[in-house]
């Protein structure tokens, strides 16, 4: 667990200094909200509320893709990836540290995006903020788990910019579908039931366990 | 004092159809310092990465053991990685972190938390005390390489593996690095160093191994006198290069690494362990 915590500390410190991924994800998310504002003018409030969960998750997904794509490219500088591969013990803890750092960054961008989205489209999401945060957190566990694994797999490939979305998007379709349904329910004022969250819990659990177990050979040569 | 013994029998590594190592036998005893010399593409880095637990051999048997008296305990690859330090061509450092932060991070990856005094002592030993809180991205190549060595030894490894650590350094920086490595060796840390420079090999190692086209082609020890000198090692390297040129001119593709009609590598002379330089003893 020391390895995971060390990596979390290192990644967040590096990000704080470079703001490399954070700026890219924030600018992208806000730009897409602005584009939707112009592409989707003066729609009735009911229509906006109905489409908002889907639109929000499309923004979340592509912003996450942008951030996850750089998770391991940073480690290619000075071949720092080799230093990680040299850590003794189970490499699953490297996966955990990397995934946790991505989770923090992506969640921060998503919170800001939700705020800007609600502001632009005059939606009152304050009462649903807790439920939305829970849904987003569960979906993010799945996204960063599979994203970290695929990002590591594609990091040394010449085609990494193409490879990551090709691998990641299909595997996130079940996450996206469940997250949109749960988000619609919570924004619609429904109480979040275990049944609504169950698919996300199961997928997040499976992806996190797979990521932990499969990470070792990914860093092997 | 190092207690780690590394040994291999018929160790081979293939990348697709390319054989980087064609089956080598070796032993590196606890406390011993070894230099690996060879031309580009000889398989030196691949060998070092197997020794570091970064790569698995495609064939053959590689064993890492902790020697305690007559008892020997085999280590898994996960355990081996905790016992070796590795310094590559690249510095393996995070540019956004300072020299000190890189050390702390490397130590934490190995489950250690060096005190501030321990960090200061290590940084001072490598002449980095003044630069400890500078970001690595702002340091010169030579200084970053010293930070890289500090990173490689911060967890007090039994063996320090160095892959061409002098690459890109000017004479002054290289000489300084050589002195610092000699000091580490004097403290009981084994060194396995890859270098193109026979002079550096002689300075740092007790034994030199010549690797050529994935095969061990010679070895010499300090006790062999002139055979271990830089001129003799240089001559052996030149002889191997000439042998390649002669093979290329002959056009028949004799020797290791020859490809058949289907582009596969085939072994025509079965010369595993053939000695082209001085006789191999104990390698």
Residue B254: the pLDDT is 53
Q: Rounded to whole angstroms, what are the CA distances from B184 to B33, B100, B102, B152, B188?
A: 11, 19, 20, 11, 7
The residues on B that touch A, with CB distances below 8 Å, are: 49, 52-56, 78-84, 86, 88-97, 101, 105-106, 108-111, 135-136, 144, 151
Going by the DSSP 8-state scheme, the letter that residue A105 receives in this structure is H
Question: Considering the domain boundaries, does residue B184 fall inside one?
Answer: yes
The residue written with tokens 């690797």 in the block is: B211
Number of domains observed in the structure of chain A: 1
Q: Do B97 and A14 touch (CB under 8 A)?
A: yes
Provide the pairing of β-strand B84-87 with B159-163.
parallel
Mean pLDDT to the nearest integer, B161-178: 82
Q: Do B81 and A9 touch (CB under 8 A)?
A: no
List the one residue out of A206, A9, A1 whose CA is nearest residue A92. A1
Nearest CA in chain B to A19: B96
A117's tokens: 């989205």
Burial of B93 (0-12, 13-18, 19+ CB in 10 A): buried
Residues B154 and B78 sit within 8 Å (Cβ to Cβ): no
For the ranges A81-90, B118-127, B254-263, which has the lowest average pLDDT?
A: B254-263
DSSP H or E stretch at residue B42: none
Distance, in Å, from the CA atom of B143 to the CA atom of B150, rounded to the nearest integer, reads 11
Provide the pairing of β-strand B59-68 with B190-194.
unpaired
B269's tokens: 């002379």
Please measure the distance between the N-terminal and C-terminal CA atoms of chain B and give it in whole angstroms: 21
Residue B97: the pLDDT is 94
Q: Do B81 and A87 touch (CB under 8 A)?
A: yes
Q: Which of chain A's residues have a Cβ under 8 Å away from the Cβ of B96?
A: 13-14, 17-18
Q: What are phi and psi of B92, to 5 degrees?
A: 65, 20
Provide the pairing of β-strand B265-266 with B258-259.
antiparallel
B100's tokens: 């000190």
Provide the pairing of β-strand B265-266 with B84-87.
unpaired
Q: Which residues are CB-neighbours of B139 under 8 A, at least 6 positions away?
A: B99, B131, B147
Which of the residues A88, A92, A93, A218 would you substitute to probe the B interface, choosing the one with the greatest number of B C-beta atoms within 10 Å?
A88
Chain A nearest-CA distance from B212, in A, is 21
Number of domains observed in the structure of chain B: 1
For B79, the closest of A84, A87, A88 (CB atoms) is A88
A193's tokens: 């039931």
Residue B199: the pLDDT is 87
Residue B168: the pLDDT is 73
Question: Considering the domain boundaries, does residue B75 fall inside one?
Answer: no
Residues A49 and A186 sit within 8 Å (Cβ to Cβ): no
The residue written with tokens 């190692």 in the block is: B205
Question: Considering the domain boundaries, does residue B272 fall inside one?
Answer: no
Chain A nearest-CA distance from B282, in A, is 28
Q: Per-residue confidence at B9, pLDDT binned at 50, 70, 90? A: very high
Residues B136 and B170 sit within 8 Å (Cβ to Cβ): no
The residue written with tokens 């509320």 in the block is: A49
Question: Considering the domain boundaries, does residue B17 fall inside one?
Answer: no
DSSP H or E stretch at residue A156: none
Question: Considering the domain boundaries, does residue B213 fall inside one?
Answer: yes
Give the CATH number, domain containing residue B151.
Answer: 3.40.50.300
List the one residue out of B165, B226, B247 whose CA is nearest residue B200. B165
A84 touches chain B (CB under 8 A): yes
Residue A75 structural domain = 2-218
Q: Do B109 and A3 touch (CB under 8 A)?
A: yes
Would you write out chain A's pLDDT as a tens digit for each of its 221 residues?
788 999 999 999 999 998 889 999 999 999 999 998 888 777 787 888 888 999 999 999 999 999 998 888 888 888 899 999 999 888 999 999 999 999 999 999 999 999 999 998 888 888 888 999 999 999 999 999 999 999 999 887 888 888 889 999 999 999 999 999 999 998 887 877 888 899 999 999 999 999 999 998 888 76
Nearest CA in chain A to B98: A14
Residue B228 structural domain = 32-53+84-254
Mean pLDDT to the nearest integer, B246-274: 50
Q: Per-residue confidence at B273, pLDDT binned at 50, 70, 90? A: very low
pLDDT tens digits for B77-117? 989 999 999 998 889 999 999 999 999 999 999 989 989 99
B112's tokens: 């250690």
DSSP assignment string, A117-131? HHHHTT---STTHHH
List the one residue out of B148, B142, B198 whose CA is nearest residue B170. B142
Distance, in Å, from the CA atom of A44 to the CA atom of B150, rounded to the nearest integer, reads 64
Residues B204 and B33 sit within 8 Å (Cβ to Cβ): yes
Residue A93: the pLDDT is 94
Question: Considering the domain boundaries, does residue B63 fall inside one?
Answer: no
Question: Considering the domain boundaries, does residue B200 fall inside one?
Answer: yes
pLDDT tens digits for A77-115? 888 999 999 998 889 999 999 999 999 999 999 999 999
Question: Considering the domain boundaries, does residue B70 fall inside one?
Answer: no
Residue B281: the pLDDT is 39
Which of the residues B96, B102, B149 would you substitute to probe the A interface, choosing the one with the greatest number of A C-beta atoms within 10 Å?
B96
List the one residue out of B235, B236, B194 whose CA is nearest residue B219. B236
Provide the pairing of β-strand B215-221 with B84-87.
unpaired
Q: Which residues are CB-neighbours of B98 under 8 A, at least 6 positions away?
A: B132, B133, B134, B135, B136
């Amino acid at each position: 667990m020391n390895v995971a915590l060390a990596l979390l500390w290192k990644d967040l410190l590096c990000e704080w200094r470079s703001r490399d991924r954070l700026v890219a994800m924030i600018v992208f998310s806000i730009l897409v909200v602005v584009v939707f504002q112009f592409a989707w003018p003066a729609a009735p409030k009911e229509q906006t509320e109905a489409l908002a969960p889907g639109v929000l998750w499309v923004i979340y997904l592509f912003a996450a893709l942008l951030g996850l794509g750089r998770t391991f490219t940073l480690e290619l500088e000075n071949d720092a990836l080799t230093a990680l591969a040299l850590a003794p013990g189970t490499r699953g803890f490297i996966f955990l540290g990397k995934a946790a750092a991505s989770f923090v960054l992506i969640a921060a961008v998503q919170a800001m995006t939700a705020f800007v989205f609600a502001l632009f489209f005059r939606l009152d999401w304050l009462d649903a903020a807790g439920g939305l945060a829970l849904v987003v957190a569960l979906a993010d566990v799945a996204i960063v788990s599979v994203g970290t694994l695929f990002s590591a797999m594609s990091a040394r490939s010449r085609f990494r910019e193409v490879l990551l979305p090709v691998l990641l998007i299909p595997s996130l379709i079940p996450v996206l579908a469940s997250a949109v349904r749960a988000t619609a329910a919570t924004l619609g004022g429904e109480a979040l039931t275990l049944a609504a969250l169950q698919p996300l819990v199961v997928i997040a659990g499976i992806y996190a366990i797979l990521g932990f177990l499969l990470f070792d050979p990914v860093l092997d040569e | 004092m190092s207690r780690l013994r590394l040994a291999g029998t018929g160790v081979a590594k293939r990348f697709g159809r390319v054989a980087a190592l064609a089956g080598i036998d070796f032993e590196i005893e606890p406390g011993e310092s070894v230099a690996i010399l060879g031309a580009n593409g000889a398989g030196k880095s691949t060998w070092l990465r197997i020794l570091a637990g970064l790569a698995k051999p495609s064939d053959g048997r590689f064993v890492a053991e902790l020697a305690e008296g007559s008892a020997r305990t085999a280590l898994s690859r996960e355990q081996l990685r905790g016992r070796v330090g590795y310094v590559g061509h690249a510095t393996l450092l995070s540019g956004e972190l300072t020299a000190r932060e890189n050390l702390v991070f490397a130590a934490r990856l190995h489950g250690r938390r060096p005190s501030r005094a321990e960090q200061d002592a290590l940084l001072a030993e490598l002449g980095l005390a003044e630069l400890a809180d500078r970001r690595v991205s702002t340091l010169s190549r030579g200084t970053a390489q010293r930070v890289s060595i500090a990173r490689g030894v911060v967890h007090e490894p039994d063996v320090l593996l160095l892959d061409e650590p002098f690459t890109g350094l000017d004479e002054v920086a290289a000489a300084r690095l050589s002195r610092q490595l000699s000091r580490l060796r004097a403290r009981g840390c084994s060194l396995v160093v890859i270098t193109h420079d026979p002079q550096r090999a002689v300075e740092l190692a007790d034994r030199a191994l010549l690797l050529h086209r994935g095969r061990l082609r010679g070895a010499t020890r300090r006790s062999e006198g002139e055979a271990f000198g830089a001129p003799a090692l240089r001559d052996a390297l030149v002889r191997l290069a000439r042998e390649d040129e002669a093979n290329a001119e002959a056009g028949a593709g004799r020797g290791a690494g020859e490809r058949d009609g289907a582009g596969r590598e085939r072994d025509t002379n079965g010369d595993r362990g053939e000695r082209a330089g001085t006789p191999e003893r104990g390698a």
